[in-house]
Amino acid sequence: MNKKIQLRDLGSKDYKSTWEYQEDLFKDIVDLKIKNRREELDLETPNYLLFVEHPHVYTLGKSGDLENLLLNEKQLEAKGATFYKINRGGDITYHGPGQIVGYPILDLENFFTDIHKYLRFLEESIILTLEEYGLKCGRSEGETGVWLDVGTPFARKICALGVRASRWVTMHGFALNVNVDLGYFDNIIPCGIRGKGVTSLQVELGVEKVDETEVKGKIVKHMTQLFEAEFV
């Protein structure tokens, strides 16, 4: 059982190449697990957490509705944005500069075999991080992610979640709005949820810019505690 998680900050990287990189890491872990089982080996499987910032891109989950994208191809091009239909859960979301995207590629058999618990732990790592900035956040029943003012007309999402798992190996992950341009969310129905807003840490704190490196450090700290992991 390997509880070490390799932390890799990719900086700014386009969505397609990052997706392919995720797929490669994911496949390597799955293949190793199959080999272990077939040959009765006990080789340790690795775990990763990728941090990345994407250029403007909209992604639609496998069960998502394309009508939740409110732009056509020419309008996407005019906004300097790309679009991908991908193999994670969830509906449509936006990634862009000023947003911390985290892709945990974990063999959950190194930690626990419970996808529901995994999602809750990802949410909790963000909730605890935002509490350090004085924000009271929580979950909205039936909707993944992290929200402010849940249960009120002012409910707004600050972090989206969407994952894929196979053979207890995960990919995709979370997107935390830190200094992101929220105007790009006007071009979609975020996560397919109507009537609820989207916000960012920068907006909620009323500051010019939030230190994203500091935020990443807090996320890692809370994931370390929740997953009882060691980041290397």
The rounded radius of gyration (Å) of the Cα atoms in the chain is 17
Determine whether the annotation assigns residue 81 to a binding site: no
94 is an annotated ligand-binding site residue: yes
Residue 88 assigned to a binding site: yes
Classify strands 143-148 and 99-105 as parallel, antiparallel or unpaired: unpaired
158 in a labelled binding site: no
The set of residues, in sequence order, having a beta carbon less than 8 Å from that of 207 and lying 6+ positions away, is none
Q: Please indicate if the annotation marks 54 as binding a ligand.
A: no
Is 31 assigned to a binding site? no
Say whether 118 counts as a known binding-site residue. no
Q: Is 174 annotated as a binding residue?
A: yes
164 belongs to an annotated ligand binding site: no
Q: Which residues are catalytic?
A: 191
State the Cα–Cα distance between residues 110 and 115, nearest whole angstrom.
Answer: 13
Q: Is 95 annotated as a binding residue?
A: yes
- The answer to whether the annotation marks 151 as part of a ligand binding site is no
161 is in an annotated binding site: yes
User: Residues annotated in the binding site for substrate, as ranges?
Assistant: 88-95, 160-162, 173-175
